[in-house]
């Protein structure tokens, strides 16, 4: 066994397969463990494995998602081809299904997570083509399982892919009928494979299409329905999942779910019911028919139109499925909702107010309650709303509290807030505690003193179309090992828009992070953040601030008008920028600090009041296809100990020097253009080394060097 592969230290062998070996490795610069797939050139599987490695690396360049294994590097070292990827401490889903040790509900949540990851891959033009339990890794994230989809070695990218027409790729038992007919993979064929896994989870490992030979399996997939599922196999799971599996395994692609996200949503909706086959009849036998059952309506209010005077009394009278309608008024009571009821209001917004008298105004501890239109006011020192169990829906409600407006507690609790307003008169708007999963759609969170959305350790929160702020605190804080997903949100909080603590992960799409006294995104040590198509501006310190060991990916983002840096990547921080615009910032557009690593592709660093890019002592970076223009300071400055590679970059129209090299810096230019800079093209400090020039650079502004007397001397072209 070798001691190193490329830059990676080899620790120990993890396993062997037909095409190579997998080792546990370590990246000495970043201090993280990696999995190293290795093949040996010239073996019988050499060409195919190399093609798979290249395909997996290309897919990785397109994908960055919490439920997809991240590939870091594809390389070759003295005849050994290797693929370095995220090392996941966990087990294959196949092992968990067959062992029967994990609850089926937990395995179904794993599959729903894989649906999320696969939906992301499909959105980016990648079809996996080998979805199966052996390609899904599961580990623990706090007390919740966390799934990772791996092995994109046979994936299809774009309409044509890398394989010839008529060639099957993948595992036969998971192939869709139309794929067996045509060998043309589609999104729907991946969904069929997910349906096979769903069937296996429900049955404890049995496949829907069984046969003693491959030919028989193919025949059953093409011509026969799935084998029936016995009622005894479904004691742990809700009966709705039978219909979900049936739709996912439909013979015709148009009869399946339209996308992986829809399948994942259907699985989660079914899990909310928690009513397995056979339980409906048992429940009916235990609970006698009652006038308070499904279909009943109870009116709460003073006067002749009300059946009772308080919501608490109405809940005592109500049975599952009851609709409770509250008439306008102020109701001073603290209420526990422990039945699956619907609570609605009559009148205009704000006319029905529940004021807590001993703690929160409302505590929801049931799986399927629906609350709409209430204004909830907590007592001093208490929240307005607590959700302590189940998956209730809270719509068009307003929550006011001097502490936290809404608290989500209890492992597995997963409320949905739609078009709600959180008026924080104290520290927080919404707090999600460990093991919870909260979703906020629309509405706003404002007035908070410490944090708008507090994602506790091990919690998961999703925000869509939410306005967070104004508020004095941080808009969203993701604490250790938590996850947050934001889509189409606006965050305008004074202490910062988004703060990500160690080992937490956030993903933002189409969001606006605006106007704080600190940073739009603060990524603390060992955290991860992915931002796509986001606007980040008007922050006093930096648009994006990445600290030691954090990893941030910015795609198609705009970092403009910040008083400080556009993006500052600090000691051991890692950042990737693709297609970004960094413009009109008061400080340096991109600061690569001591020990940091940055890769920027097709990005623009323009019109700043200082440097365009500054690579300081120990920093290293690659700029590929970037434009650096119109900056007041040097377009690019590389300080002592800094190392920078510029490929196909343009440094132009700066009000100072295009490129400034200080002593002991290392710079390589390849196919770059440097022109129309006011002070000159490339300026070398007195003891600076000459840049390395490759591949036909065009340096029109010339070379300058500071001599021993501090004078500028124009040099002949290098």
What pLDDT, on a 0 to 100 scale, did the predictor assign at position 283? 35
On the question of pLDDT at 695 being above 90, the answer is: no
3-state secondary structure 168-221: CCCCHHHCCHHHHHHCCCCHHHHHHHHHHHHHHHHHCCCCCCCCCCHHHHHHHH
Helix, coil or strand: residue 632: coil
Mean pLDDT score, 317-323: 90
What pLDDT, on a 0 to 100 scale, did the predictor assign at position 288? 33
Between CA 398 and CA 601 the distance in angstroms is: 44
On the question of pLDDT at 143 being above 90, the answer is: no
On the question of pLDDT at 251 being above 90, the answer is: yes
On the question of pLDDT at 717 being above 60, the answer is: no
466, 439 Cβ separation under 8 angstroms: no
On the question of pLDDT at 84 being above 90, the answer is: no
Confidence tier at 537 by pLDDT (50, 70, 90): very high
Confidence tier at 88 by pLDDT (50, 70, 90): confident
CA distances for 701 relative to 668, 683, 685, 716, angstroms: 17, 10, 17, 11
Residue numbers annotated as active site: 130
Tokens of 498: 């988004």
Between CA 567 and CA 585 the distance in angstroms is: 10
Relative orientation angle of helices 104-123 and 187-203, to the nearest 10 degrees: 170
Relative orientation angle of helices 104-123 and 260-273, to the nearest 10 degrees: 160
The CB density around residue 494, as the number of other CB atoms within 10 Å, is: 18
Beta strand 574-578 with 620-624 is unpaired
How far is Cα of residue 149 from the mean position of the Cα atoms in its chain? 14
What pLDDT, on a 0 to 100 scale, did the predictor assign at position 287? 31
Residue in this structure with the two tokens 């062992």, named with its chain if needed:
99
Q: What confidence tens digit (pLDDT) does each residue in 124-134 have?
A: 888 888 899 99
Q: What is the largest CA-CA distance in the chain?
A: 100
Q: What confidence tens digit (pLDDT) does each residue in 650-675 have?
A: 999 999 999 999 989 999 999 999 99
Residue in this structure with the two tokens 């201090």, named with its chain if needed:
31
Q: What confidence tens digit (pLDDT) does each residue in 557-596 have?
A: 999 999 999 999 998 899 999 999 999 999 999 999 988 9
What pLDDT, on a 0 to 100 scale, did the predictor assign at position 626? 97
Tokens of 184: 């043309």
Nearest to 362 by CA among 391, 323, 395, 399: 399
What pLDDT, on a 0 to 100 scale, did the predictor assign at position 280? 38
On the question of pLDDT at 160 being above 60, the answer is: no
pTM of model > 0.85? no
Annotate 39-51 with b (16+ C-beta within 10 A) or e (fewer): beeeeeeeeebbe
Beta bridge partners of 407: 386, 431
Domains of the chain, CATH where assigned: 4-86 (3.30.200.20), 91-280 (1.10.510.10), 295-478 (2.160.20.10)
| Strand residues in 447-532 grouped as ranges (E) | 451-455, 460-464, 467-471, 474-478, 483-487, 490-493, 498-500, 505-509, 512-514, 519-523, 528-532
Helix, coil or strand: residue 49: helix
Q: Is the peptide bond before 618 cis (omega within 30 degrees of 0)?
A: no
């Amino acid at each position: 066994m070798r001691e190193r592969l490329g830059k990676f230290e080899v620790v120990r062998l993890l396993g062997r397969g037909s095409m190579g070996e997998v080792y546990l490795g370590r990246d000495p610069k970043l201090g993280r463990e990696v999995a190293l797939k290795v093949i040996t050139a010239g073996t019988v599987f050499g060409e195919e494995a190399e093609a798979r490695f290249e395909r997996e690396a290309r897919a990785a360049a397109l994908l960055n998602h919490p439920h997809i294994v991240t590939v870091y590097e594809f390389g070759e070292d003295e005849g050994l081809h290797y693929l370095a990827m995220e090392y996941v401490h966990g087990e294959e889903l196949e092992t968990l299904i067959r062992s029967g040790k994990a609850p089926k509900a937990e395995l179904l949540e794993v599959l729903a997570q894989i649906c999320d990851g696969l939906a992301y891959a499909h959105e980016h033009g990648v079809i996996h083509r080998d979805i199966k339990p052996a390609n899904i890794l599961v580990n623990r994230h706090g007390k919740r399982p966390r799934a990772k989809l791996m092995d994109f070695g046979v994936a299809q990218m774009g309409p044509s892919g890398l394989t010839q027409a008529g060639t099957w790729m993948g595992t036969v038992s998971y192939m869709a009928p139309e794929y067996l007919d045509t060998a043309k993979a589609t999104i729907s064929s991946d969904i069929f494979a997910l349906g096979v896994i769903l069937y296996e989870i429900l049955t404890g490992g049995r496949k829907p299409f069984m046969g003693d030979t491959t030919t028989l399996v193919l025949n059953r997939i093409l011509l026969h329905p799935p084998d029936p599922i016995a009622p005894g196999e479904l004691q742990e799971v809700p009966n709705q999942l039978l219909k979900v599996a049936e739709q996912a395994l439909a013979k015709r692609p148009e009869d399946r779910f339209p996308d992986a996200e829809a399948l994942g949503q259907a699985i989660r909706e079914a899990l909310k019911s928690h009513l397995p086959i056979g339980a409906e009849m048992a429940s009916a036998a235990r609970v006698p028919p009652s006038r308070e059952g499904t279909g009943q309506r109870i009116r709460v209010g003073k006067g002749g139109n009300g059946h009772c005077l308080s919501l608490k009394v109405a809940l005592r009278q109500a049975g599952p499925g009851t609709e409770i309608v509250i008439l306008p008024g102020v109701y001073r009571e603290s209420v526990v909702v422990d039945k699956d009821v619907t609570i609605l209001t009559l009148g205009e917004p704000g006319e029905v107010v529940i004021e807590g008298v001993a703690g929160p105004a409302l505590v929801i501890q049931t799986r399927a309650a629906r609350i709409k239109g209430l204004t909830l006011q907590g007592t001093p020192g208490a929240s307005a709303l607590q959700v302590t169990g189940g998956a209730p829906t809270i719509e068009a409600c307003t929550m006011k509290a001097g502490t936290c407006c809404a608290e989500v507690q209890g492992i597995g609790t997963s409320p949905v807030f739609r078009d709600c307003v959180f008026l924080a008169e104290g520290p927080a708007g919404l707090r999600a505690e460990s093991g919870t999963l909260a979703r906020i759609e629309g509405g706003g969170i404002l007035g908070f003193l410490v944090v708008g959305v507090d994602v506790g350790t091990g919690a998961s929160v999703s925000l869509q179309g939410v306005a967070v702020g104004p508020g004095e605190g941080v808009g969203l804080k993701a604490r250790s090992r938590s996850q947050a997903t934001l889509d189409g949100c606006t965050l305008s909080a004074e202490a910062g828009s988004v703060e990500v603590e160690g080992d937490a992960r956030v993903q933002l799409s189409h969001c606006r992070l605006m106007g704080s006294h600190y940073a739009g995104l603060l990524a603390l040590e060992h955290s991860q953040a992915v931002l796509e198509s986001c606007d980040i501006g008007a922050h006093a310190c930096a648009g994006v601030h990445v600290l030691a060991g954090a990893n941030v990916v910015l795609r198609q983002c705009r970092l403009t008008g910040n008083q400080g840096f556009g993006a500052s990547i600090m000691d051991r921080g890692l950042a990737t920028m693709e297609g970004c615009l960094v413009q009109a910032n008061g400080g340096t557009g991109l600061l690569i600090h001591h020990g940091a690593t940055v890769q920027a592709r097709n990005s623009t660093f323009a019109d700043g009041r200082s440097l365009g890019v500054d690579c300081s002592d120990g920093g290293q970076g690659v700029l590929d296809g970037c434009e650096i223009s119109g900056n007041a300071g040097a377009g690019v400055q590389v300080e002592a100990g800094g190392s920078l590679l510029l490929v196909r970059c343009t440094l132009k129209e700066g009000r100072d020097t295009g490129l400034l090299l200080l002593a002991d810096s290392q710079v390589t230019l390849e196919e770059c253009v440097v022109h129309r800079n006011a002070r000159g093209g490339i300026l070398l400090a007195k003891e600076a080394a000459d840049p390395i020039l490759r591949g036909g650079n065009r340096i029109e502004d010339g070379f300058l060097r500071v001599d021993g007397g501090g004078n500028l001397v124009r040099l002949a072209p290098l």
